């Protein structure tokens, strides 16, 4: 009656429920179900935050690492740290050392610095991405941004991949709402596993909600809005998911999964078992990588 503007709240997953279902594997180790790694990087003025995710059959996933690289992103040192991280391997439960297969880095901040770093890494492994609210596909076709003075494309130059952030966030929230299975039952497709990280990670992972607002023309429009100030855990997670899409996870058949199982020394897949109650995997030694700077909320739970 008053013709006041309004928004319709969209439900974000309960961060406390996710926090309470954390599992016993160590940060920095790859549990048995994880078969390949991707990462997502978010660039801020004074740091780069990177989330490393292991992916298995049925798009089941495990948080493997979350690293904050402190430093002025307009200067070279922090980008050297990111190059060092890209060279890190993670120990799998079966003994293999897994590299990061694809790293997706957002170009929304410090765009030229992102381009310069990605160009140095060579084509293929690093994906420069640019988020759009919604698109017809979760990851679109890349466009070349490196051209000569006469407008020709530079061979092996930087390409930018558009990603539909709205689509990927909706998918991720659907996965986060999946209930934990009973003991002995398989995990549902898309189930997300987390080690003993602090509550701040889960608050950031659920820091946005989908709302519906009415535009000036009277149209209803859905958009994602922050409910907390920090949302890097969510952003880096969907970037890692975009990297997995480009790597081919949505197209993998039994042959590709069999090859990945063979590479890590795993036996043919059986129904996944909960990894919560077994013996924790040996953590990675921090002294091996002194350039890593983890947030306290990742090292110690409240």
Determine what percent of the chain is predicted with pLDDT higher than 70: 84
Mean pLDDT across 18-45: 96
Banded model confidence at residue 3, pLDDT cuts 50, 70, 90? low
144 close to 154: Cβ distance less than 8 angstroms: yes
> Coil, strand or helix: which one is 283?
coil
C-alpha span between 32 and 159 (Å, rounded):
34
Give me the pLDDT at residue 278, please. 41
The predicted model scores a pTM of 0.85
Residue range 132-181, pLDDT digits in tens: 987 889 999 999 988 776 777 887 789 999 999 999 999 999 999 999 99
C-alpha span between 261 and 84 (Å, rounded):
27
C-alpha span between 295 and 240 (Å, rounded):
19
Interacting residues of 189 by C-beta distance below 8 A, sequence separation 6+: 58, 59, 60
Output the six-digit token pair for 280: 């924790």
C-alpha span between 196 and 92 (Å, rounded):
18
Q: Both ends of the chain: CA-CA distance in Å?
A: 47
Mean pLDDT across 243-269: 91
Choose the weakest-confidence range: 70-84, 201-215, 284-298. 284-298
DSSP-assigned states of every residue in 36-100: EEEEEEEE-SSEEEEEEEEE-GGG-EEEEEEEEEES-TTSHHHHHHHHHHHT-EEEETTSPEEEE
Give me the pLDDT at residue 279, please. 43
Give me the pLDDT at residue 302, please. 45
pLDDT over threshold 60, residue 224: yes
Query: Of the candidates 263, 278, 264, 253, which has an alpha carbon nearest to the alpha carbon of residue 193?
Result: 278
Q: Where do the domains of the chain lie?
A: 23-201+231-269+284-296
Give me the pLDDT at residue 153, please. 81
Query: What's the full length of the chain, in residues?
Result: 302
Interacting residues of 54 by C-beta distance below 8 A, sequence separation 6+: 30, 31, 33, 34, 35, 36, 37, 61, 62, 64, 90, 98
Interacting residues of 203 by C-beta distance below 8 A, sequence separation 6+: 15, 228, 230
């Amino acid at each position: 009656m008053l013709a006041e503007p309004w928004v319709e709240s969209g439900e974000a997953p309960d961060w406390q429920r996710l926090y309470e279902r954390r599992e016993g594997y160590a940060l920095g180790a790859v549990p048995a179900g994880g078969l390949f790694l991707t990462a997502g990087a978010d660039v801020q003025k004074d740091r780069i935050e990177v989330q490393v995710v292991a992916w298995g059959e049925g798009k089941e996933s495990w948080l493997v690492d979350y690293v904050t690289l402190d430093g002025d992103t307009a200067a070279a040192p922090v980008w050297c740290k990111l190059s060092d991280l890209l060279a890190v391997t993670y120990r799998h439960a079966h003994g293999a050392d897994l590299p990061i297969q694809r790293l997706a880095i957002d170009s929304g901040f410090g765009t030229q610095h992102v381009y310069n770093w990605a160009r140095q890494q060579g084509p293929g492994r690093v994906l420069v991405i640019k988020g759009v609210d919604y698109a017809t596909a979760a990851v679109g076709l890349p466009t070349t941004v490196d051209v000569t003075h006469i407008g020709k494309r530079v061979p092996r130059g930087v390409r930018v991949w558009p990603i539909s952030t709205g689509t990927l966030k909706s998918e991720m929230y659907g996965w986060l709402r999946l209930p934990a299975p009973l003991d002995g039952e398989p995990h549902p497709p898309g189930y997300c596993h987390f080690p003993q990280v602090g509550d701040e990670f889960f608050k950031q992972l659920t820091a946005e909600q989908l709302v519906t607002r009415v535009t000036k023309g009277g149209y209803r429009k859905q958009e994602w809005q922050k409910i907390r100030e920090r949302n890097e855990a969510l952003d880096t997670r969907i970037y890692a998911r975009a990297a997995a899409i480009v790597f081919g996870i949505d197209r993998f058949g039994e042959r590709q999964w069999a090859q990945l199982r063979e590479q890590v020394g795993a036996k043919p897949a059986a129904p996944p078992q909960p990894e919560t109650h077994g013996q924790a995997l040996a953590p990675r030694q921090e002294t091996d990588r002194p350039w890593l700077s983890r947030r306290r909320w990742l090292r110690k739970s409240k």
